[in-house]
């Protein structure tokens, strides 16, 4: 899980020049807006080879690096 968190954190740092703690809410922090979220979904899909269902695209699955990593690992099972 740490590898996934690290990959996500590096993406956010490169794209938004921001660092997040693993449990920080990315939406409340103001780092990612709606267009940024679309780009993040594309990055996750391509990097981790995940196809999203419409029901997957809820804030609960993406609000923090830790939660995104959990979601990604669940999708890959």
Q: What domains can you pick out in the chain, each with its CATH number?
A: 2-76 (1.10.1200.10)
Contacts of 55 (CB under 8 A, 6+ apart): none
Pair of tokens at residue 6: 């690290």
pLDDT confidence of residue 17: 93
Maximum distance among all alpha carbons in the chain? 31
Q: Tell me the per-residue pLDDT of 17-43, one tens digit each, with 9 for 90 and over.
A: 998 899 999 988 888 888 999 999 999
77 has a pLDDT exceeding 90:
no
Q: What is the mean pLDDT of the chain?
A: 94
DSSP 3-71: HHHHHHHHHHHHHHS----TT--TTTTTS--HHHHHHHHHHHHHHHT----GGG-SGGGTSSHHHHHHH
Look at residue 9 and tell me whether its pLDDT is greater than 90. yes
For the segment 46-69, the average pLDDT, to the nearest whole number, is: 95
Decide if pLDDT at 10 tops 90. yes
């Amino acid at each position: 899980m740490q590898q996934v968190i690290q990959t996500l954190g590096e993406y956010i740092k490169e794209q938004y020049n921001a660092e997040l703690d693993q449990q920080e809410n990315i939406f409340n922090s103001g780092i990612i807006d709606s267009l940024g979220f679309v780009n993040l979904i594309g990055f996750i899909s391509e990097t981790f080879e995940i196809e999203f269902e419409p029901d997957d695209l809820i804030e609960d699955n993406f609000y923090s690096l830790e939660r995104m990593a959990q979601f990604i690992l669940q999708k890959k099972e």
